[in-house]
Amino acid sequence: MNKLNEIIKKIDEIDFSKENKIQKRLDNLTKPQGSLGGLEDLAKQIVLITNKDNPSLDNKVIFTLAGDHGIADEGVSAFPKEVTAQMVYNFIKGGAGINVLARHIGARVIVVDMGIASDLEFDDGVVIKKINYGTKNMIKGPAMTRDEAVRAIENGIVVFEDEFLNGVDIVGTGDMGIGNTTASSAIASVITGKPVEDMTGRGTGIDSKSLSMKIELIKKAIDVNKPNSEDAIDVLSKVGGFEIGGLAGVMLAAAARKVPIVIDGFISAAASLIAFKLEPKVKDYMISAHCSVEKGHKTVLDYLGLSPLLDFNLRLGEGSGAALAITIAEASVKILTQMATFKDAEVSEKLDT
Amino acid sequence: MNKLNEIIKKIDEIDFSKENKIQKRLDNLTKPQGSLGGLEDLAKQIVLITNKDNPSLDNKVIFTLAGDHGIADEGVSAFPKEVTAQMVYNFIKGGAGINVLARHIGARVIVVDMGIASDLEFDDGVVIKKINYGTKNMIKGPAMTRDEAVRAIENGIVVFEDEFLNGVDIVGTGDMGIGNTTASSAIASVITGKPVEDMTGRGTGIDSKSLSMKIELIKKAIDVNKPNSEDAIDVLSKVGGFEIGGLAGVMLAAAARKVPIVIDGFISAAASLIAFKLEPKVKDYMISAHCSVEKGHKTVLDYLGLSPLLDFNLRLGEGSGAALAITIAEASVKILTQMATFKDAEVSEKLDT
């Protein structure tokens, strides 16, 4: 718990009083004032987060954390459990969606075993931070112990801190774990207080019958475990997942280092709820990449006060939406740092009207 | 008119019967079926447009066409007329928004003088296709002659064809011209049949009084010239602009070469209306980059049946929104061509449910 408490203490409140000054700088660039809309807002947010006048986002890193879920044994996913490990092999061989998108935007992908149900047969290129061999089935009791929940978050912190030594200017969060929309829906329902039905979607693509069963299982898990919505560690331990805890740790550690955090889809959003409950200040370091089709995602973003950048009906996870949003974020910063001013370019300014 | 008619004849109808086959290919990649949503749709559209199984979008080109507008003398813009030429200098020096964004995505910017009101003092890096020294003031008569309108479109065709020799895999459309939202609103109102009030926005940022005047001027221009909404050349000549005609030409030429066209903002949308009225088949080659804040843009996109990719409250023009959309389009194609299949990656497929 020491590592977690220490990192939380290091998260500074963002000084929004500087916002007008950055907008003035944007207004001096050769374009009608405000004409780059959302890009200008992003650039401002990144200057505020980094506390650098001219941030560069050369070092783009996507953390894709993997873990298994005991609840998968109940058939909540359209895919078998072994897919978690199989996809990790795919990540390290570079054939998954996140690999393609990360290469496209020039980002590194850090793949982490937070709690895959098996030992990996080969793990070159995987950071091993395994807490346990998958969570326990949460309809029968807590998904993990309280100690495991803390260690999951702290392992996420360590993963970020270790990578930070190689340079990290912006972070994308990603996940892999068969069954993890189920855990995420449970977390989202408990923390936002919204009904399970409103927070539960089809994940990898289950049919309506399986969706009804998934909802009933989540209700049962909440009923059996009675997580305390005001205690994020309690929620994570009772209905969460190792990769979700790890992502919350990555987020807290990134905020402590003033690194912008690009939140991917629904699982990352659930992790951001855990991080937010541990330290609300972390929210201002977050950029929502996109609104996925997973039911409940929009509600979680509203709860956090985040506006999604993209709306492409994505539901892959892995950090795929974050990758696309990161390249937009980088573009926004380049607008601020590379565009000519009216004065430099000798362009006439707006007429007085 | 020969060049225009010839290019129109070369535009093939897209064979949508291949769509299912491409979706099946996407469904074999290591991700839940359909989980990359809009990216999958984009990839399919680009395969259909290019008629290539494995298109590559290495050669990304943004055509930023500039022209002046006689109507600017009435004070419809927040900026003085000389800004058109000044911004062209800014483009060739690399300091404008479009330069920054094009560099970010690895695109070339082709800057064209379609009809700036003055001769450029230096024009290294500008393609000179000047039709005239700005259009005439359209409240007093046609903005240009019918012959000039045809030549504007044909010059756009030549600009594309010349650049095609250097390799063009995807096109972004961009514009620069003080007063050109006024011409675009007039075109949009005439072709869609919607009231001028619904198609007229604040452009570079005029106040409400100037906006009312702008609306009245557009109404007057339409009343004075009585453009025939079924005759695109008539509309372009009476209430259009040289850069708008040129962009329509670029679009038609790109479609004839099976090159995807990424439509930027409101001015590009007006040009796409002209191109569409000349040859409706061109529409299927178009990708709408974004929905700008300029009033009427959404209506034009609906008229064309296009769904915007991004929604960032942009209103800069130049091709800025197109640049961002092009890198998303490139990502979508890489998903199709670079991701591993379930078989190759030895990942278990969806369970039978």
Candidates 1.10.1610.10, 3.30.70.20, 3.90.1150.10, 3.30.300.20; CATH matching B2-54+336-345: 1.10.1610.10
Q: What is the pLDDT of residue B8?
A: 98
For residue range B155-189, list pLDDT tens digits in order: 999 999 999 999 999 999 999 999 999 999 999 99
- Asked if the Cβ–Cβ distance from B330 to A89 is below 8 Å, we say no
Query: Which residues from chain B sit within 8 angstroms of residue A307, using beta carbons?
Result: none
Nearest to B205 among A89, A346, A350 (CB): A350
For the segment A81-88, the average pLDDT, to the nearest whole number, is: 97
For residue range B288-317, list pLDDT tens digits in order: 999 999 999 999 999 999 999 999 999 999
- Asked if the Cβ–Cβ distance from A32 to B78 is below 8 Å, we say yes
Q: Is the ipTM of this complex over 0.90?
A: yes
Chain B nearest-CA residue for A176: B31
Query: Which residues from chain B sit within 8 angstroms of residue A203, using beta carbons?
Result: 32
Chain B nearest-CA residue for A93: B345
- Test the B interface: residue of A27, A86, A90 with most B CBs within 10 Å: A90
β-pairing verdict for A261-263 and A170-176: parallel
On whether any CB of chain B is under 8 Å from the CB of A33, the answer is: yes
Beta-carbon contacts of A114 under 8 Å, excluding residues fewer than 6 positions away, are A65, A66, A67, A129, A130, A131, A152, A155, A156, A242, A243, A245, A246
- Asked if the Cβ–Cβ distance from A339 to B96 is below 8 Å, we say yes
Q: What is the pLDDT of residue B352?
A: 67
Catalytic residue among A318, A330, A346, A349: A318
Chain A nearest-CA residue for B317: A35
Q: CATH class for domain B60-326?
A: alpha beta
- Asked if the Cβ–Cβ distance from A344 to B95 is below 8 Å, we say yes
On whether any CB of chain B is under 8 Å from the CB of A43, the answer is: no
Q: What is the pLDDT of residue A350?
A: 87
Nearest to A348 among B83, B316, B347 (CB): B83
Beta-carbon contacts of A24 under 8 Å, excluding residues fewer than 6 positions away, are none
pLDDT at B353 over 60: no
On whether any CB of chain A is under 8 Å from the CB of B343, the answer is: no
DSSP class of A140 = S
For residue range A136-156, list pLDDT tens digits in order: 999 999 999 999 999 999 999
Mean pLDDT of the residues in chain A? 97
pLDDT at B211 over 90: yes
For residue range B250-261, list pLDDT tens digits in order: 999 999 999 999
- Would you list the domain boundaries of chain A? 2-54+336-345, 60-326
d(CA B150, CA B321): 27
Chain A nearest-CA residue for B207: A353
Q: Are A314 and A320 in contact (CB under 8 A)?
A: yes
Q: Are A333 and A55 in contact (CB under 8 A)?
A: yes
In this prediction, what percent of chain B has a pLDDT beyond 70? 99
| Catalytic residue list contains B318 | yes
d(CA A281, CA A46): 15
Please give, one letter per residue, the 3-state secondary structure of chain B.
CHHHHHHHHCCCCCCHHHHHHHHHHHHCECCCCCCCHHHHHHHHHHHHHHCCCCCCCCCEEEEEEEECCHHHHHCCCCCCCCHHHHHHHHHHHCCCHHHHHHHHHCEEEEEEEEECCCCCCCCCCEEECCCCCCCCCCCCCCCCCHHHHHHHHHHHHHHHHHHHCCCCCEEEEEEECCCHHHHHHHHHHHHHCCCHHHHCCCCCCCCHHHHHHHHHHHHHHHHHHCCCCCCHHHHHHHHCCHHHHHHHHHHHHHHHCCCCEEECCHHHHHHHHHHHHHCHHHHHHEEECECCCCCCHHHHHHHHCCCCCECCCCCCCCCHHHHHHHHHHHHHHHHHHHCCEHHHHCCCCCCCC
Determine phi and psi for B182, rounding to 5 degrees: -65, -50
pLDDT at B1 over 80: no
Query: Which residues from chain A sit within 8 angstroms of residue B37, using beta carbons?
Result: 293, 312-315
On whether any CB of chain A is under 8 Å from the CB of B222, the answer is: no
Q: What is the pLDDT of residue A1?
A: 76
CA distance to partner chain B, nearest, from residue A196 (Å): 22
For residue range A276-319, list pLDDT tens digits in order: 999 999 999 999 999 999 999 999 999 999 999 999 999 999 99
In this prediction, what percent of chain B has a pLDDT beyond 90? 98
For the segment A161-177, the average pLDDT, to the nearest whole number, is: 98
